[in-house]
Amino acid sequence: MRVFLISLGAAVLALVLVAGITIGLVAMKLDGQTKIKDHSWLHLDLYGSLPEYDPPTGLAGAITGGDSQTLQSVLTNLAMAANDKRIDGVVLQLSGSNDAGRGKLEEIRRGVARVRAAGKPVLAYADYIDLNVLYTAAACDSFFCPPSSYITIVGLDASHPHLKQALKKMGIDPLVSAIKDYKSAAQIVTRDDLTPEAIANKEWMLDEYMDLYLEGLTAGRGIDAGGLDAIMTRAEFLSSEALSFGLVDGVMYWDELSARFMQEKDDTPRIVSGSRYAEEDPEDFDLGGKKKIAVIHAQGTIGGRTNGVNPLLGLMMGHETINAELKRALEDEDVAAIVLRIDSGGGESLASDLMGHMVEVVAGKKPVVVSMVDVAASGGYSMAYRASWIVANNMTVTGSIGSISAKFDMSEMYDKLGISFSHVTRGPNARFMGADRGFTEEEFKNFEERHNASFHVWVEGIAEYRNMTVEKVESLGQGRVWTGRQAVANGLTDEVGGFWEAVEAARRLAEIPADTKTGLWHLPEKQDLLATLLKGDSASLTMAGRWLLYRSVREDMHQVRQSMESGAWRMQPTGIID
């Protein structure tokens, strides 16, 4: 009886603690939710990491600071601001320290255009200006910077590391089957330089990027090809010089700019932060309806069964997580169509194919529109090609229809370190993939034959679903990568566009009337506060820690690199860093 009473008391105490924490956190949230006044300005500060969607860290991520602003929250905020009568305009604060890829920046530009089309101005402000910042700001009505800005506008560089000699010195022999000469990732360990084919691939990608940058800068800031070349030749600018070159429209500090957003008798500017504005309900601003478009976010390196965070690789996409969400959307009667947002450079071929198969199954019953973000290549494209429709940003990296299979023979390194192994085996080829031995000639031939055979199955599948011949797919494959605009031209994707274009494509394929509103259901869903606390989810806490570590290290390295490149650090004779 005594044990029972102790257990009962502990359970009651645990419930009281959970309730207390829940009430406290909810109260803090409500207390910090200030009312949005008329004639306010939305302030979106794009600094640091910008994942496409919320990392899989649950409540623990928010508590530990592991969550961050996402591309999806930025796009939703811009869409709401376009329809919100309380919002007079948007201030987009940019920085070269932001690590958003070109596809994400292109989508932000589209979101800015949506606000401007509603008759509301969008201002850009940046303290650290590079080509990506200039390109993004060119979509805005005007662009400002402080007097002490770092401004470096230079050409594009596609550097590629080679580790072959380093591995050789360590006694590691990479045994690689690569398909094929355009698959430059394999050339990191197999060559001391790039193949001519890989160089040609990088050249056509850079040419395409330069064209797209120029289009945006010409339309937004009147910078033609000669002007851009002159800017890149000069490379670095003082703020006053940037003003005279037409890179910015004004030089002022943030407090001087924000003072413009005050109304008569106001003590402070009427500025609404992006995090505060994200708490508003999109359905209040014409972005809802009974019929739903399910938006499934698939981001990160493909590997494992469930979504997670790897401290070295960052976000991980698990096939069971994505397939469960696809099935969930399929079975929901209110879901008319599905948008699958892919932001992944690939990973495990098996997991990629398992997700691609589920896309095929679901697309046979409901429209599935793939929306490619920064990159949807290799395994990311394997997921996509069986969809009903594929939408890609102009600057999305896609394709990479190739494959790499390898093992590393570390026997020489083990010898150098004095490490030896004893083996007891049964059956043929028990040591086939052993790292303390290489392949025999016959074994490597078998290894390559199986690799090529499995790759050919993929090529045949693409040919079938994209209505091409196998020869056509092979001419686009062998590891080649393409921009989204190029992929539309060669038939690998269907339409140039971002998130909202993909939503419209889903509505069109689902035959939803133009005057019928649809809501958006984002998956995977974030767990609510009480459910997470009751669950006692230690896994989400671990995930949050991993994400926080990965994000912090990545942002610190990014900041150090950019500070050194900008000349922000100067070594003095005394050894003091200024």
Would you state the pLDDT for residue 264? 80
When pLDDT is cut at 50, 70 and 90, the band that residue 7 belongs to is: very low
Phi and psi at 491, nearest 5°, equal: 95, 0
Q: Where are the domains of the chain?
A: 31-156+216-277, 290-402+439-516
Task: Give burial (CB, 10 Å; 0-12/13-18/19+) of 240.
Answer: exposed
The arithmetic mean of pLDDT across residues 160-187, rounded, is 92
What is the Cα–Cα distance from 296 to 53, expressed in whole angstroms? 10
Residue 572 in this model has a pLDDT that exceeds 50: no
Residue 68 in this model has a pLDDT that exceeds 90: no
What is the Cα–Cα distance from 320 to 327, expressed in whole angstroms? 10
Would you state the pLDDT for residue 334? 94
Amino acid at position 255, single letter: D
Domains 31-156+216-277 and 290-402+439-516 share a fold: yes
What is the Cα–Cα distance from 432 to 443, expressed in whole angstroms? 8
**Topology of domain 31-156+216-277, CATH:** 2-enoyl-CoA Hydratase; Chain A, domain 1 (3.90.226)
Count of Cβ atoms closer than 10 Å to residue 306 Cβ:
15
Q: What is the pLDDT of residues 8-46, one digit of tens each?
A: 444 444 444 444 444 444 444 444 568 999 999 999 999
Q: Is 143 left (phi over 0), alpha (psi -120 to 50) or beta?
A: beta
What is the Cα–Cα distance from 181 to 540, expressed in whole angstroms? 41
Q: 556 vs 84, which has greater pLDDT?
A: 84
Would you state the pLDDT for residue 573? 36
* CB 386 within 8 Å of CB 465: yes
Mean pLDDT lowest for which of 61-75, 188-202, 549-563? 549-563
The arithmetic mean of pLDDT across residues 370-374, rounded, is 98
The pTM of the full predicted model, rounded to 2 decimals, is 0.86
Most confident region among 268-282, 362-376, 418-432, 445-459 by mean pLDDT: 362-376
In the predicted model, what is the mean pLDDT of the chain?
87
Mean pLDDT lowest for which of 55-59, 388-392, 401-405? 55-59
When pLDDT is cut at 50, 70 and 90, the band that residue 380 belongs to is: very high
Phi and psi at 478, nearest 5°, equal: 60, 25
**Topology of domain 290-402+439-516, CATH:** 2-enoyl-CoA Hydratase; Chain A, domain 1 (3.90.226)
How crowded is the C-beta side of 245, counted as CA atoms within 13 Å?
Answer: 24
What is the Cα–Cα distance from 538 to 491, expressed in whole angstroms? 46
What is the Cα–Cα distance from 477 to 539, expressed in whole angstroms? 39
Would you state the pLDDT for residue 131? 97
Would you state the pLDDT for residue 553? 64
What is the Cα–Cα distance from 493 to 468, expressed in whole angstroms? 12
Q: Which residues contact 258 (CB under 8 A, 6 or more apart)?
A: 91, 269, 271
What is the Cα–Cα distance from 68 to 52, expressed in whole angstroms? 10
Residue 172 in this model has a pLDDT that exceeds 70: yes
Helix axes 102-117, 71-83, angle to 10 degrees: 10
Q: What is the pLDDT of residues 226-238, one digit of tens each?
A: 999 999 999 999 9
* CB 418 within 8 Å of CB 383: no
Residue 379 in this model has a pLDDT that exceeds 50: yes
Q: What is the pLDDT of residues 72-99, one digit of tens each?
A: 999 999 999 999 999 999 999 999 988 8
Would you state the pLDDT for residue 568? 45
Q: What is the pLDDT of residues 484-525, one digit of tens each?
A: 999 999 999 999 999 999 999 999 999 999 889 999 999 998
Q: 65 vs 461, which has greater pLDDT?
A: 461
